[in-house]
């Protein structure tokens, strides 16, 4: 892979992660702009490294993506807080997981799919966030006793 192709792929991963992170940052979540950008970028770099070994004997590039998923699970677990019956950070953890997926898509050059995924992640976080608050308000739930996000 030449340097230009490498730059385009990690650039796409970076911008996807930044765009996803903007919504988290606006909502003042712990894992915001920098976290999602770096997760997406890091996932892309690991996949790009594995692509360099494509065609070599005993090489299974999909194992790298599997390890990205596992590694991101540890980061996600770090943003989930459990206090009594209240659980916070699940949506942020899921968003980080999706940012890693975005990085993997960018690394393999699936740019149209990356765009769709990025827009869907932001759509889910924004639109469903409003729906969630609306439902909680209608059901007179205490927003501080939320069991997600």
Domain that holds residue 123: 3-145
Domain count, the chain: 1
The CA distances from residue 37 to 45, 59, 62, 85, 144, in Å, are: 12, 28, 22, 31, 28
> Residue ranges of the alpha helices (H) in 2-143?
3-26, 33-51, 62-79, 90-107, 111-138
Q: Which residues pair with 82 in a beta bridge?
A: 87
Q: Mind listing the pLDDT tens digit of every residue in the chain (149 residues)?
A: 899 999 999 999 999 999 999 989 998 887 889 999 999 999 999 999 999 888 888 888 788 888 998 899 888 888 888 888 888 889 999 999 999 999 999 999 999 999 999 999 999 999 998 898 888 888 877 766 655 55
How is residue 30 annotated by DSSP? S
pTM of the model: 0.87
């Amino acid at each position: 892979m030449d340097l230009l192709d490498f730059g385009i792929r990690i650039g796409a991963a970076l911008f996807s992660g930044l765009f996803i992170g903007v919504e988290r940052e606006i909502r003042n979540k712990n894992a915001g702009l920098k976290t999602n950008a770096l997760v997406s970028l890091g996932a892309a770099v690991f996949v790009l490294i594995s692509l360099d070994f494509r065609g070599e004997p005993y090489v299974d590039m999909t194992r790298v993506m599997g390890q990205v998923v596992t590694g991101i699970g540890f980061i996600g677990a770090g943003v989930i807080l459990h206090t009594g019956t209240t659980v916070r950070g699940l949506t942020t953890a899921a968003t980080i997981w999706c940012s890693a997926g975005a990085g993997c898509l960018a690394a393999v050059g699936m740019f149209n799919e990356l765009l769709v995924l990025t827009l869907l992640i932001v759509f889910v976080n924004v639109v469903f966030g409003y729906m969630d608050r609306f439902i909680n308000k209608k059901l007179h739930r205490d927003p501080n006793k939320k069991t997600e996000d």
